[in-house]
Amino acid sequence: MPRTVRLLVAARAINRLGAFSLPFLTVLISADFGASVTTAGLLSAAFGLATIPSRLAGGRLATRIGRRRTIVLGLTGCAAAQLGIAAAGSLVAVAVFAVLLGLFFELYEPPSQALIADAVGPSERVRAYGLFNAALAAGGTGAGLIAASLGRWDLRWLFVVDAATCLLCALALRLALPAEHTDRSALRTPGTAEPVRPWRDRALRAVFLSGTLFALVTTQITMGLPLTLARRGLEPADAGLLFTASAVTVVASQPALRLRRLASLPDSAALALGHVLLAIGLAGYAVASALPAFLAATLVWTLGDVLILGRVLTVVADLAPRGGADRYLAAYGISWGIATVVAPVTSTQLLAHVGVGALWSGTAGLCLALAAAQLLVVEPLVRPVRERRAAPGGTGVAPRRTAPR
């Protein structure tokens, strides 16, 4: 992998190692300020909503002030907001800094993902994005241990240490990433007078819709698994063991992405296979009653997750016209902000009204529907655009008379 990719992967792992404070935000709000669970949930939802414009701003700022500056701004802003939460003396102050954290939280993603897309050839993007996601998983395995030790002492220190890792990453990337000259022409599609507008791209809209449902499924797992264990008579904290097993599986499975049979699969087939594996794993949750069964199901859906995460970012990067990767990746990334807001509601309401079996059976059915839609709906829209982008000398831009209005 090129130096830029290795730098971003290493920085990602360091940053993730400290990214353990957010799950404890609701606990801090309730314990230190006596707020109700409902109030704590609303503040967490406000954070999730703030990440949506943050992702869009990350794509715009990357083309206006440069990717390195945007990355540093995002990490530094996160650090300042987290220190504000740690020092807050009132619930209002915590709410303000939580929203501020959301507004900076996703600035990092579009420029870092676009840097990876530009640093490697199309054939290597799947592996590069796989390493990027593996860095998240690797850092996450240590993050839980740090959170367990610091959290017993004082929850506010979680936000202080998280801020320190953000500042460390910002400094490292500021010194290591090359400076760049921003070009306002990157805001326009090459070969036309039209600005780059991702939402006018039908292929991207199809990928975005599929990606939003995938993000909803993934976030629902995080929210619903501890509650599911409790309803099965198991210890909810054992969800931490299952998530650690999932993270280890993400890291350990990276070499498999280079196997010839897997690497040669068309992206549509790989994405469909990933959704099928997700469905099998989540169907396992519907019938599991003992921890080993939950562990086996977790390993299966994690393999599907690995297939999807590396491939889908590659598809989005390939859809983007020259100079438009930041904006396309930012637009696609909104799917995770939507999932962060919706999943806590859907997972708890479904558990309360239809139970464990129906929750996970229904989610597995949704994954099977996504697998079919990937082959029958999304791929026919995506393939012509990608072929046009890849054509020698082609910009992938349709003639002006056929451009959507």
What pLDDT, on a 0 to 100 scale, did the predictor assign at position 290?
A: 93
Report the alpha-carbon distance of residue 231 to residue 226 in Å, rounded.
9
What pLDDT, on a 0 to 100 scale, did the predictor assign at position 73?
A: 94
Q: Give the start-to-end residue ranges of the domains of the chain.
A: 1-179, 198-390
What pLDDT, on a 0 to 100 scale, did the predictor assign at position 349?
A: 83
What pLDDT, on a 0 to 100 scale, did the predictor assign at position 185?
A: 47
Taking alpha carbons only, the member of 199, 181, 182 closest to residue 63 is: 182
* The CATH number of the domain covering residues in 1-179: 1.20.1250.20
Q: pLDDT tens string for the chain (405 positions)?
A: 788 888 888 887 777 765 666 666 766 777 777 777 667 767 877 888 888 899 889 988 988 898 899 999 999 999 999 999 999 888 899 899 999 998 998 898 889 888 888 888 777 888 888 888 888 777 777 666 666 666 567 778 888 888 988 898 899 889 888 877 554 444 444 444 345 688 888 999 999 999 999 999 998 898 788 888 888 988 876 887 888 888 889 888 888 877 888 878 899 999 999 999 999 999 999 999 999 999 999 999 999 999 998 889 889 988 888 778 888 888 898 898 888 888 877 887 888 888 889 999 999 999 999 999 999 999 999 999 888 877 665 544 333 333 333
What pLDDT, on a 0 to 100 scale, did the predictor assign at position 194?
A: 44
Examine domains 1-179 and 198-390 and report if their fold is the same.
Answer: yes
What pLDDT, on a 0 to 100 scale, did the predictor assign at position 399?
A: 35
* The CATH number of the domain covering residues in 198-390: 1.20.1250.20
